[in-house]
Amino acid sequence: MSPEEKDEPHPLTSRVKFRLSNRDFRARAHSNPLNDGNFNVPSRPPEIDWRKWFDLEHAASENLRARALKDEVGGTRPEWVDIGCGYGGLLAEMSTAFPDKLMVGLEIRDRPLQFCEERIKKLRKEAPGSYGNVWYIRTNVMKFLVNFFEKGSVEKMFFCYPDPHFKKKKHRQRIVSMQLLAEYAYVLSPSALVYVVTDVEELFQWISERLTKHPLFIQVTDEEIANDPVSTYVRDRTDEALRVEKSRGSKYFSIFRRLPNPNH
């Protein structure tokens, strides 16, 4: 390595070169969320000490360091949530682009979750002060979402390439349904945004129809999507997005806004 190369600053991107590969953490593509699993679940959100997962004292963001020092109630809870985060590429990629935001990925499968944890630990080591605003938790979102998040506490929620469960008899296992939308609406703050991207057109229509029918969600305009700085990360910068582009597949993407409760 030349002296010039040695002096180059560390690139703040999740796509740094290290020996960890998701091939070493392969898992079944499908998991039945209706089955009971062995999950360590808090009985209610206030019991969670998020500081044990986020590295805020050494964060590059002055705002996050201040929140950690003040130790305000709820001050260290995550604001952005990736539902079914897979191998965690989205949040790892957004971590340094949005350093003032605390982000958590939720994944039901054990092996991908192990990869997520190992990757973020490696990134923190290679770029001190960065990536402390991201962590990942293994849980079943369909059963335990409200155990982790208080009412109106989430600003952004991501559904990136969710399991399509193609067979009709398995549609009840899909991560978006009218019943689940009620729970998502509960933890989302008014004006919070829900991002949806998939390469399966039928699934995109399924999710969009249910979000459109729900009284607490509305689809945002194309102009708003174009001006949203997070959109390009969700649509184009995840591991799955790169796979779809490589195979010349199609990506179906939209954003929905959480509306205020009509009785408020």
Residues belonging to the active site = 163
Tokens of 247: 């195979």
Tokens of 187: 């933890």
Tell me the CA distances in angstroms from 207 to 55, 169, 210, 225, one per residue in order: 35, 17, 5, 18
One-character DSSP codes across the chain: --HHHHHSPPP-SS----S--GGGG---S---TTS-------SSGGG--GGGTS--TT-S-HHHHHHHHHT-TTTTS-SEEEET-TT-HHHHHHTTTSTTS-EEEEES-HHHHHHHHHHHHHHHHHSTTSSTTEEEEE--HHHHHHHH--TT-EEEEEEES-----SGGGGGGSS--HHHHHHHHHHEEEEEEEEEEES-HHHHHHHHHHHHHSTTEEEPPHHHHHH-TTHHHHHHSSHHHHHHHHTT---EEEEEEEPPPTT-
Residue pair 189/258 in contact by the 8 Å Cβ criterion: yes
Pairing label, strands 80-83, 252-258? unpaired
